[in-house]
Amino acid sequence: MAFSPITEESHVEYGFHRNLRKEYPEIVSAKGNYLYTSENRQIFDACGGAAVSCLGYGHERVIQAMYKQSLTGVTYLASSFWASPVVKDLCKELIQGTNGEMARVYLTGSGSEAMEAAIKLSRQFFYEKNKDTPRVNFIARENSYHGNTIGALSVSGFITRRQPYIPFLMDNVHHISSCYPYRQQEEGESDAAFVTRKATELDNKFRELGPETVIGFIAEPVVGAALGCVPYVPGYLKAMRDVCHKYGALFILDEVMCGSGRTGTLHAWQAEGIVPDIQTMAKGLGGGYQPIAAMLLSQKVVKTIMEGSGQFIHGLTYQAMPIQAAAALEVQRIIREENLLEKVTRRGTALGALLKKFLAEHPNVGDIRGGGLFWGIEFVKDKRTKQPFPPEVGISQKILELAISPQFNMTFYPGTGSVDGIQGDHIILAPPFNITNEDVDNIVTVVVAVIQLVFSEMA
Ligand code: PLP
């Protein structure tokens, strides 16, 4: 049987990668902070896609770096039997970015793959020391997202993404509460007391499971998609690390979304002055120019593998590809050479202050939180009780749809978290690191106008 030829109509909707009931605007080109639609609309991307495009689109230097690497003919290499200079350079750049606190880098193609690697390697860490190790359990958190593959989804606490797959998920993952002061910190409770409460909960979970059975604790320092930019309370990471180390378990941080400079330091943990045993990073690593993610390992972990089998029992075809590394290396060099972290902090402080100034009193804005260029706004039906809207109202989708309409031409990242088992709504703002003061003003003007309009139309 002959296939019918591809026509203008036929290539439109064979994709299966999004909501099949909807039509999506087509993007045909992009430059800087702007996406261009097939209808010639210019849309400002205020969320870098899914907090990915940290340098915006079409950055000349990154394109040239990828082109140069392509000209060598080495876009792909079987990483299990060849080395590549550009991959080595990227790993060196990443280790230097930790000031030598981390020792080795394992490259993958996506955040979920990096999390799978972290889950497996942390088990192997104990297996190297004792083949009969009783360490089989992970402790992770509610209201978290670590990826959609089975291991990563098992450690996630994202109810709606887990629900259909619960029978497949690992039963050795145990969730404790997240660090979510807006809904958890009691009236008059100090940050220090709140942190102690969280550390005690982790300690209790260790003791309930048997500390000798726990591999590690997994957390996002700033919760991304599952809650909308909820940062750790100062002291929290340190306190949780201390509990892990007290019981000889690993402290594992997922910086897939909040890392790579998004919060103003290259790694979110650097602001707390602690170092994880294992860390992942992804989105801002390649800035969307290539699919690339990484797992960074501390000396403690590397030493155990070195002294044991000498190899991580894992591997993927598309890992450590030179073309991915060329893009990520250039993105990371630009961030360093152009001192963009300082810009992230400055512009981010202004963005947060303006959002609070214009939206804090809005009756349906429950919370505005974040840091650097990573801000979340949570919406509530009732500001006093913090009750969220029912999911069927689709607040964050309504906000996105109005924002990307020809009236506003801007995009935010819509999200739903889970509040006591009920879906709550938020939006995330995560613009590129090189935005201007005018861009910040423009984002705030549109965000405020869209929120006001959506809720006034519902009143
Ligand atoms: N971890 C976090 C914190 C994330 O935000 C995500 C994706 O949004 C992932 C892991 C999974 O990454 P990916 O979608 O690249 O597989």
114 CA → ligand 1 middle, Å = 9
257 CA → ligand 1 middle, Å = 6
- pLDDT in the model for residue 12: 62
398 CA → ligand 1 middle, Å = 24
- pLDDT in the model for residue 19: 86
pLDDT at 31 over 60: yes
What number does the ligand 1 atom closest to the CA of 152 have? 10
**Beta-sheet pairing, 27-31 with 137-141:** unpaired
Whether 289 lines ligand 1, by a CB cut-off of 6 Å, is no
- pLDDT in the model for residue 171: 97
What number does the ligand 1 atom closest to the CA of 282 have? 15
What number does the ligand 1 atom closest to the CA of 110 have? 15
Q: Residue 328 contacts by C-beta under 8 Å, 6 or more apart in sequence?
A: 90, 285, 286, 287, 289, 290, 292
What number does the ligand 1 atom closest to the CA of 113 have? 16
Give the CA distances from residue 95 to residues 13, 227, 259, 285, in Å, rounded to whole numbers and listed in that order.
Answer: 43, 30, 14, 13
Mean pLDDT confidence for 344-350: 98
User: What is the best residue among 52, 143, 145 to mutate for testing ligand 1's pocket, by most ligand atoms within 8 Å of CB?
Assistant: 145
Helix (H) or strand (E) holding 433: none
Name the burial class of residue 383, with classes exposed (0-12), middle (13-18) and buried (19+) by CB atoms within 10 angstroms of its CB. middle
CB atoms near residue 310 (< 10 Å) = 8
DSSP 216: E
381 CA → ligand 1 middle, Å = 29
Helix (H) or strand (E) holding 272: none
pLDDT at 51 over 80: yes
439 CA → ligand 1 middle, Å = 27
Whether 220 lines ligand 1, by a CB cut-off of 6 Å, is yes
Rounded to 5°, the CA angle 24-152-242 comes to 130
Q: Please give the order of strands across the beta sheet that includes 365-371.
A: 365-371, 374-379, 422-429, 413-419
Q: Name the band, by pLDDT with cuts 50, 70 and 90, for residue 1.
A: very low
Q: Residue 452 contacts by C-beta under 8 Å, 6 or more apart in sequence?
A: 362
Per the CB < 8 A criterion, the answer to whether 108 and 99 are in contact is: no
Dist. CA 25–CA 44, nearest whole Å = 14
312 CA → ligand 1 middle, Å = 22
Q: What are phi and psi of 66, to 5 degrees?
A: -70, -40
User: What is the best residue among 144, 153, 256, 292 to mutate for testing ligand 1's pocket, by most ligand atoms within 8 Å of CB?
Assistant: 256
- pLDDT in the model for residue 4: 55
The residue among 292 and 392 whose pLDDT is bigger is: 292
pLDDT at 10 over 70: no
What is the average pLDDT score of the chain?
95
- pLDDT in the model for residue 239: 98
Ligand 1, atom 1: closest residue by C-alpha: 146
Whether 257 lines ligand 1, by a CB cut-off of 6 Å, is yes
- pLDDT in the model for residue 7: 57
**With pLDDT > 70 as the criterion, what percentage of the chain qualifies?**
97
Amino acid at 47: C
Whether 254 lines ligand 1, by a CB cut-off of 6 Å, is yes
Dist. CA 128–CA 305, nearest whole Å = 7
Q: What would the pLDDT profile of 166-196 be if each residue is shown by its tens digit?
A: 999 999 999 999 999 999 999 999 999 999 9
Q: What would the pLDDT profile of 240-267 be if each residue is shown by its tens digit?
A: 999 999 999 999 999 999 999 999 999 9
Of the CA atoms within 13 Å of residue 334, those in its CB half-sphere come to 23
Q: What are phi and psi of 22, to 5 degrees?
A: -120, 160
Q: Which residue has the tokens 């995560």?
A: 430
pLDDT at 5 over 90: no
Q: Which residue has the tokens 């996002």?
A: 220
Length reported for the chain: 459
